[in-house]
C-alpha cells in the first residue's frame, strides 16, 4: 500500500471517491477520462469523507486483510441511470459481494461518509458492471474478485478526470 497525501479540510469535504473492482489492473496515479472508465464493478458509489484520506486508506487496508477473495457471476442485462439509457451487466448478488459492500459501508459507522445516491447503498445496492466501449462481462462466466481500488473522482480539481489512488488485495484466508 502506498502512502497518499492528506487533503486539506476545504478540499476533503468536496472530494469524491468510489471503491471499485477493476477487471484489468489499473496503475495508481494515472488519470483517465471520466468517460473512459475501465470495466469494473462499483462496490461503494460516490461518497465524500469527513476525515483525512490516510484514515480511509488505513480502514480499507484493515478490511481487506480479513476479506477472502471470491467469485462473481453476471446474471443479466439492464439499463441504469436517470434516463435508463446506461447499459449494465447485472451481477448475482451473492453473499460475498453483498457482505463486502456492507463491510465497506460499515467503515463509516460514525456517519463520516456522505453518499451522492444513498438509495443505491445497503438494501438498494445492485451489483453491476457498466458496459464499457463494447467491453462487458459475459453472462454465465465466472470472474474472480481479489482486489478493490479506491478511486479519486475529482483529481486536481478536474471533474472530468478519474485516478486510482490505491489498489488493495483481498488477503483473508
Please write the tens of the pLDDT for every residue from 40-87: 999 999 999 998 999 999 999 999 999 999 999 999 999 998 899 999
| Band (110; pLDDT cuts 50, 70, 90) | confident
Identify whether 84 is part of a domain: yes
pTM of the model: 0.89
Identify whether 34 is part of a domain: yes
Asked if residue 134 has pLDDT above 80, the reply is: no
Identify whether 91 is part of a domain: yes
SS3 at position 29? coil
Percent of the chain surpassing pLDDT 90: 77
Identify whether 148 is part of a domain: yes
Identify whether 140 is part of a domain: yes
Identify whether 3 is part of a domain: no
Contacts with 39 (C-beta within 8 Å, 6 or more apart), sequence order: 22, 23, 24, 129, 132, 135, 136, 137
For 48, the domain range is 9-169
Give the chain's largest Cα–Cα span. Answer: 46
Identify whether 2 is part of a domain: no
CATH number of the structural domain spanning residue 74 = 3.90.1140.10
Domain count along the chain: 1
Amino acid at each position: 500500500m502506498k502512502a497518499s497525501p492528506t487533503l486539506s479540510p476545504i478540499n476533503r469535504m468536496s472530494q469524491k471517491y468510489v471503491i471499485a473492482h477493476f477487471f484489468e489492473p489499473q496503475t495508481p496515479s494515472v488519470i483517465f477520462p471520466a468517460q473512459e472508465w475501465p470495466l469494473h464493478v462499483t462496490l461503494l458509489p460516490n461518497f465524500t469523507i469527513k476525515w483525512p484520506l490516510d484514515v480511509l486508506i488505513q480502514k480499507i487496508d484493515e478490511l481487506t486483510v480479513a476479506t477472502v477473495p471470491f467469485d462473481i457471476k453476471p446474471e443479466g442485462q439492464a439499463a441504469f441511470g436517470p434516463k435508463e439509457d446506461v447499459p449494465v451487466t447485472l451481477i448475482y448478488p451473492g453473499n460475498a459481494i453483498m457482505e463486502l459492500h456492507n463491510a465497506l459501508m460499515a467503515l463509516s459507522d460514525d456517519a463520516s461518509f456522505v453518499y451522492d445516491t444513498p438509495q443505491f447503498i445497503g438494501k438498494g445496492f445492485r451489483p453491476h458492471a457498466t458496459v464499457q466501449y463494447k467491453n462487458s462481462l459475459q453472462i454465465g462466466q465466472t470472474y474472480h474478485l481479489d482486489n478493490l481500488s479506491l478511486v479519486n473522482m475529482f483529481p486536481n480539481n478536474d471533474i472530468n478526470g478519474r485516478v486510482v489512488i490505491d489498489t488493495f488485495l483481498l488477503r483473508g484466508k
